[in-house]
Amino acid sequence: MAGRVEGKVAFITGAARGQGRSHALRLAQEGADIIAIDLLEDIPGAPYSGATRADLDETVRQVEALDRRIVATKADVRDLGSLQQAVDAGVAELGRLDIVSANAGISTQMVPTDQLDEDIWQNMLDTNLTGVWHTAKVAIPHLKAGGRGGSIILTSSEAGIRGYANIAHYVSAKHGVVGLMRTLALELAPHSIRVNSIHPTQVYTDMIQNSATYDLFTGKTGSTKEEFAAASQAVIALPIPWVESIDISNALLFLASDEGRYITGVPLPVDGGNFLL
Ligand SMILES: NC(=O)c1ccc[n+]([C@@H]2O[C@H](COP(=O)([O-])OP(=O)(O)OC[C@H]3O[C@@H](n4cnc5c(N)ncnc54)[C@H](O)[C@@H]3O)[C@@H](O)[C@H]2O)c1
């Protein structure tokens, strides 16, 4: 039986680990080949380690184990040139582009807004907002050239729907992604290119498996994983403390596939009802 994205090619940023790797594998399971990029460096001000070459190699290994092709490159979404090179080389090798997942993102300093460092603020906007625009900018000409339409999925966050104290830079960037999504959806509709954003609640990846994030949710220092789980669950309507990367990947697959063929311009929460509370 043909997969749900059989024969298509997907460009995924931040694909070395976490949600990005999960998206690559889910799309590959359904028949897509993958163009993957990742920074593979530590992030200044992040309370967790950056992805590594070994992480990206593991994504490659797992996609190839599914008998799909993958072109994986170290590239930085803040750097338009490196991103352009990576997507151009990927399309040259794999022959087309249909799906774009602008997933790369960072979480850094967690302090009241007036105490945020200027370089931390700027790097957040450069990565989580400008990086998403860069991703769309380098991909759109390939999607248009294919003449087969396409699907662009921008990863925002629950923090793109509501405010959170002490992460103004993250909340601002993730809200900005929604404006970009709505604008692109209008511009690209005549080309049958759909653009939507996904808004995960807490996803249990490296980004949040650290004491700084635990403390952000509990409002105290030295929180345990159990205390974080209770605080996280308190803001989610369903009785769960967080979701897993595969839950985001399944929503992304739906939007990427023909099942979502008339869905565009939609901010889709995958959040267990977080937005209701
Ligand atoms: N984990 C959560 O709770 C959560 C919730 C909502 C939204 N998100 C968003 O989901 C996306 C994926 O995050 P994740 O949870 O998988 O975390 P993660 O840290 O495991 O993965 C993020 C990936 O992006 C890469 N990256 C960071 N900066 C980059 C850059 N400049 N260029 C290229 N790659 C870069 C990292 O190296 C890493 O591999 C992010 O946009 C994040 O903001 C995460």
pLDDT in tens, 222-253: 999 999 999 999 999 999 999 999 999 999 99
pLDDT (0 to 100) of residue 170: 98
Residue from 43, 125, 203, 232 whose mutation best tests the ligand 1 pocket (most atoms within 8 A of CB) = 203
Phi, psi of 211 (to 5 degrees): -65, -30
Please enumerate in sequence order all residues whose Cβ is within 8 A of that of 205, keeping only pairs 6 or more positions apart, or say none. Answer: 17, 18, 19, 245
Q: In 3D, which of 38, 50, 121, 106 has the Cα closest to residue 77? A: 38
161 CB less than 6 Å from ligand 1? Answer: no
13 CB less than 6 Å from ligand 1? Answer: yes
Token digits of residue 188: 């690209």
Q: In 3D, which of 110, 108, 107 has the Cα closest to residue 166? A: 110
Q: Are 156 and 177 in contact (CB under 8 A)?
A: yes
Residue from 21, 39, 78 whose mutation best tests the ligand 1 pocket (most atoms within 8 A of CB) = 39
Q: What is the band of 1 on the pLDDT scale with cuts at 50, 70, 90?
A: confident
- β-strands 193-200, 150-155 pairing: parallel
Token digits of residue 73: 């490159």
pTM of the model: 0.98
Q: Distance between terminal CA atoms of the chain?
A: 41
Share of the chain above pLDDT 90, in %: 99
